Amino acid sequence: MKKLVIFLGVSPFLAVAANAQSSVTLYGIVTGNVTYSNNVQTAATANGGRPKGGAQIAQFDSGTSGLASSRWGLKGTEDLGGGLKAIFQLENGFSVNNGAIGQGGTEFGRHAWVGFNANRYGTLTLGRQGDTSVEFVSALIYGWYWGNLAIHPADYDNLNFTHRINNSIKYLSDSFNGFRFGGLYSLGGVAGNVTQNQFWSTGVSYTGGSFAIAASIINARNPNTSLYGTNANASATGNNLGSAGSATTPESNPIIAGFASAHTQQTVSVASTYTAGGAIFGVAYSSTQFRGLGSNGPLNTFNYSGSTTLSTVGASLRYQATPFLRLGASFDYTEGGSVGSKDGAKYEQVNLGAGYSLSKATELYVTGAYQHASGTDSLGRPAVAAIGYLTPSTTDKQVAVSAGVKHLF
């Protein structure tokens, strides 16, 4: 009886001690902005001519075209002793203008993973998460001011984290004298074919003083499913890369939509930055190959075969003008996507951005982009400008400006 009384007396303190070893953090970003574009399509044409439309548009969105998309999430950690911790992250994307769930209606579409951190031995996680190009390269390219208007055309290299990887196992090392490395593998889950729909990536980075550099390789088998088809509303048999549009709907991702039948997509990316005072200078390069076009017959609308490559080279300057004001500019040049005798498309884009901090949590911002296109796109049509996630233009030029407020919690 005495032992029972003692146990009951100290058990609340034991519970407090146990709870002190674990924590859960609620966090998020709420962004609202107005975006203006000088030219958007209203419908596509079937004869290879210019699409219909061309109207100006101003619209309110939830950061899709702004500095950052709205989200909320939970991060948790539990100390297991001996330097080992259990960790997890759940993150939901949403629209602040109508409350809709992002990532195609996937509840925790941005992150959903659990794993372990072992201090100097690194981190192992399992679930829905970003590939190594997002972990190592993206931060050096987009930084703190770019916004979603500045992504590479159609985000074909996934450096803006448009697509998450399902069913994945990821390892990230701790930093060793400035060096970090990691890898990810996603199981395809197809009976009798281990490599069908599989995805793997690997990356490395180095940071030393004012200099930083990172590189990554990602490889997706049947990318229409393993990379572009990972959201809840993705088509099981249709084209998840984009659309040629119709007499009543505009094109979607004409830069890559025609390559949905590829057997494999492989992307190599590298970026580097140098910091001098309040300025950060950056350069970047990415190259994506769509290999084995025509492997998925039903999606090979244009009877493509062989392979095609898209590559982007870019340069940027970011500047902290005052403790409250930051500015940035970048230029990207993309070319490729040629199939057969036709020259592929070329895209030249200039990006500008500025942010003014009202507090540690609240910032006003404005971003802008201009893109010029030429050549023939993946749909076999004269290339049209297509900035960020906006509806493509009817011509080879498009201008977009986004202004809004971002609040962290």
For 233-276, the pLDDT digits (tens) are: 899 999 999 999 999 999 999 999 999 999 999 999 999 999 99
Q: Which of 172, 168, 197 is nearest to 182 (CA)?
A: 172
Q: What is the mean pLDDT of residues 194-206?
A: 93
Residue 13 confidence (pLDDT): 40
Share of the chain above pLDDT 70, in %: 92
CATH class of the domain whose range is 26-408 = mainly beta
Higher pLDDT: 339 or 173? It is 173
What is the C-alpha separation between 118 and 83, in angstroms, rounded? 6
For position 8, what pLDDT does the model report? 41
pTM (2 d.p.): 0.91
Residue 300's pLDDT band (boundaries 50, 70, 90)? very high
pLDDT at 289 over 80: yes
Closest CA to 142 of 66, 202, 60, 75: 66
- Identify the H or E element spanning 355: strand 345-357
- Report, as an integer, the average pLDDT of 27-49: 89
So where are the chain's domains? 26-408
Which of 267, 261, 257, 255 has the alpha carbon at shortest distance from 293? 261
- Average pLDDT across the chain, whole number: 91
Q: Is the Cβ–Cβ distance between 186 and 179 less than 8 Å?
A: no
Query: Which of 4-13, 18-27, 127-136, 194-203 shows the lowest per-residue confidence on average (mean pLDDT)?
Result: 4-13
The beta-strand segments (E) located in 65-146 are: 71-81, 84-93, 111-117, 123-129
Residue 407: per-residue pLDDT: 96
Is residue 365 within 8 A of residue 404, CB to CB? The reply is: yes
